[in-house]
Amino acid sequence: MFRVFAVAFLMVLAPPGLAQAHVVESGADLRVTQTFRAGEVTLVVARVTQVPASLRVSAQAIHPTSAALELEVRSLTDGSSSTGSVRVGEDPTALPIGHTGPHELHVRAGDEISVIPFRVLVPGHDPWAMVTDGAFLISGLLLVGGVLTGRLSRPIVGAASASVAAAIVLTVLQPSLPAPPEGAAPVAEVGRPYAQARFSTLPVRPATGAEFTLTLRLTDGSTGRPVDDLAVHHEAPAHLVVTSEDGAVLRHVHPLRTAPGVLAVRLRVPQPGRYLAYAEFERQESGGQLVSGAFEVSGAAQSDAPVHDPAEPRLTPATPTAGSPVTIEVSVAGPVQPWLGMPGHLIVRSADGVHLTHAHGMKGGGSALRFTLTFPERGRYLAWAQYAAEGRLVTRPFTVAVNR
Ligand SMILES: [Cu+2]
């Protein structure tokens, strides 16, 4: 009883554990969004509490596609694997696994394959819990024994009190002596070096209206080796924003990991000219990073390209100032579905392409999404509010003038 109370108390005091978004553990499901040619899919790998287990994998999408995804889960510990297939919005498939530790989820859609590394973690064996339980058990036995025999002498009460005190001390110490989950990676002492990024397209000179592959190669700034330790943040290992220089075209996609340190996505754009590409990602145990590149598209403009519905946002203050936060409210029609774990996203690029920022929106007053951000310097900014509604991704462009 006392232990239950003490533990409950500690749970309130103890800070919540750092989110380890690239792992499958008893705490949370792993959600990874990937942009395939057929559409964007969020793979959901359900939590496990023990191994062997059946790993339940399902697929979700804003805009459901009927295409099946072929799945394979592979243990990097012994190479064992199991396969299955899943359709968006349907029941999860169960893939048997036998180990904790590093795994890969291979996802195939048509001729595209993404290999998603992740770790299976289960609660570790905690030697302190046994000691604490033992101490409480001894104190309980001493007290109960004393009451039953009618001899609650001072030595017995003293021994019981000592056991309770020892148990409390151990319980208090436990958060600083946690058992690492089984299957966890060794902890690096410091953050990782910056990743150096190189963007390329195939073909080298894409044509309007024709599919091309945009590839991002990441190498470690220290060793020059491929960067293959991206953490999943906002439900994707990397967020890629591609804009035409004039801002008329925007693509916000989540590239596939095609090889260690290589991320690729198939794109099609309607307008020729220069395009700016930005990728946001996070190495494990390190901060976020934004890298950029550019490429050229030739050919004639496609007249049948879908046109975005411009937004007329409400700004507070009405004239934003560089270096001070501004609140931007964008009205939405109809109920908003979560996308990448948030109701809304706002991408902001300076007209010259030097700055790119990304803000997350909360539901504001009435049917509006509210974003708060700070512009770094005066000038004209291109902005795109994005949210999911009625089974599609809505992009609402607007511009903001920052005067001083
Ligand atoms: Cu994204």
CA distances, 387 to each of 64, 344, 393 (Å): 16, 5, 6
Each residue of 189-205: pLDDT tens digit? 677 889 999 999 999 99
CA of 254 to the centre of ligand 1 (A): 6
Distance from residue 238's CA to the centre of ligand 1 (Å):
7
> How far, in Å, is the centroid of ligand 1 from the Cα of 340?
7
Distance 34 CA to ligand 1 centre (A): 10
Rounded Cα gap, residues 300 and 35, in angstroms? 26
Percent of the chain topping pLDDT 90: 62
pLDDT confidence of 154, banded at 50, 70, 90? Answer: low
The mean of the pLDDT values for the chain is: 85
Query: Which amino acid makes up residue 260?
Result: P
Q: Both tokens of residue 280?
A: 């946001």
Judged on CB neighbours under 10 Å (0-12, 13-18, 19+), 129 is: middle
Length of the chain measured in residues:
404
pLDDT at 184: 80
State how beta strands 250-253 and 238-244 pair: antiparallel
Q: How far is the CA of 193 from the centre of ligand 1 (A)?
A: 23
Q: How many C-beta atoms lie closer than 10 Å to residue 217's C-beta? A: 17
* Banded pLDDT at 151 (limits 50, 70, 90): low
Distance 335 CA to ligand 1 centre (A): 21
pLDDT of residue 35: 96
One-letter identity of residue 305: A
> 243, 264, 366: which is closest to 308 by C-alpha?
243
pLDDT at 347 exceeding the cut of 60: yes
Lowest mean pLDDT across 49-53, 141-145, 259-263:
141-145
| Residue 282 neighbours by CB distance under 10 Å | 22
With beta carbons less than 8 A apart as the criterion, state whether 397 and 247 touch: yes
Instruction: Write out the H or E segment, with its range, that includes residue 130.
Output: helix 127-149
User: Is 332:387 a contact under the CB 8 Å cutoff?
Assistant: yes
For 374-395, write each residue's pLDDT tens digit. Answer: 999 999 999 999 999 988 899 9
Using DSSP's 3-state secondary structure scheme, residue 111 falls into coil
Reported confidence tier of residue 165, pLDDT bands at 50, 70, 90: confident
What was the pLDDT predicted at 308? 83
Name the DSSP class of 174. Answer: G
Most confidently predicted of 135-139, 144-148, 215-219: 215-219
Examine the pLDDT at 159 and tell me if it is beyond 90. no
Distance 251 CA to ligand 1 centre (A): 10
C-alpha 9 to ligand 1 mean position (Å) = 38
Query: Is 80 exceeded by the pLDDT of residue 19?
Result: no
293 phi and psi angles, rounded to 5 deg: -160, 180
64 vs 178, residue with greater confidence = 64
Average pLDDT over residues 76-82: 96
Give distance in angstroms: CA of 21 to centre of ligand 1.
Answer: 15
For residue 48, CA distances in Å to 45, 182, 328, 344 come to 9, 12, 40, 30
DSSP 28-70: --EEEEEEETTEEEEEEE---SSSSEEEEEEEE-SS----EEE
pLDDT confidence band for 145 (50 / 70 / 90): low
pLDDT at 13: 30
Q: How far is the CA of 132 from the centre of ligand 1 (A)?
A: 45
CA of 252 to the centre of ligand 1 (A): 6
Helix (H, G, I), strand (E, B) or coil at 162: helix
Distance from residue 155's CA to the centre of ligand 1 (Å)? 66
Expressed in angstroms and rounded, the spacing between residue 240 Cα and the centre of ligand 1 is: 6
Q: Tell how far the Cα of 373 is from the centroid of ligand 1, in angstroms.
A: 17
**Which H helix or E strand runs over 15?**
none
Q: Cα separation of 265 and 258, whole Å?
A: 9
| Ligand 1 centroid distance, CA of 236 (Å) | 7
Distance CA 103, CA 118 (A): 5
Q: 245 with 210: CB under 8 angstroms?
A: no
Token pair of 34, please? 């990937």
Residue 160 has pLDDT above 80, yes or no: no
Instruction: Tell me the average pLDDT across 116-145.
Output: 71
Give residue 185's pLDDT.
75
Q: Residue type for 38, please?
A: A
For 242-278, the pLDDT digits (tens) are 999 999 999 999 999 999 999 999 999 999 999 999 9
Q: Which residues contact 151 (CB under 8 A, 6 or more apart)?
A: none
* Cα 234 to ligand 1 centroid, rounded to whole Å: 7
| Coil, strand or helix at 180 | coil
User: Nearest-CA neighbor of 334 among 352, 315, 351, 309?
Assistant: 309
Q: Which two tokens stand for residue 379?
A: 């000038």
pTM: 0.81
Q: Which of 25-34, 86-95, 301-310 has the highest mean pLDDT?
A: 86-95
**In Å, how far are 132, 140, 151, 364 from 143, measured between CA atoms?**
17, 5, 10, 58
**β-bridge pairing 101-109 and 68-75:** antiparallel
How far does residue 70's CA lie from ligand 1's centre (Å)? 23
Q: How many angstroms does the Cα of residue 188 sit away from the middle of ligand 1? A: 27
pLDDT band at 98 (very low <50, low <70, confident <90, very high): very high
Q: How far is the CA of 136 from the centre of ligand 1 (A)?
A: 50
3-state secondary structure of 126: coil
Instruction: Indicate if the pLDDT at residue 113 is higher than 60.
Output: yes
What number is the average pLDDT over the span 348-354? 97
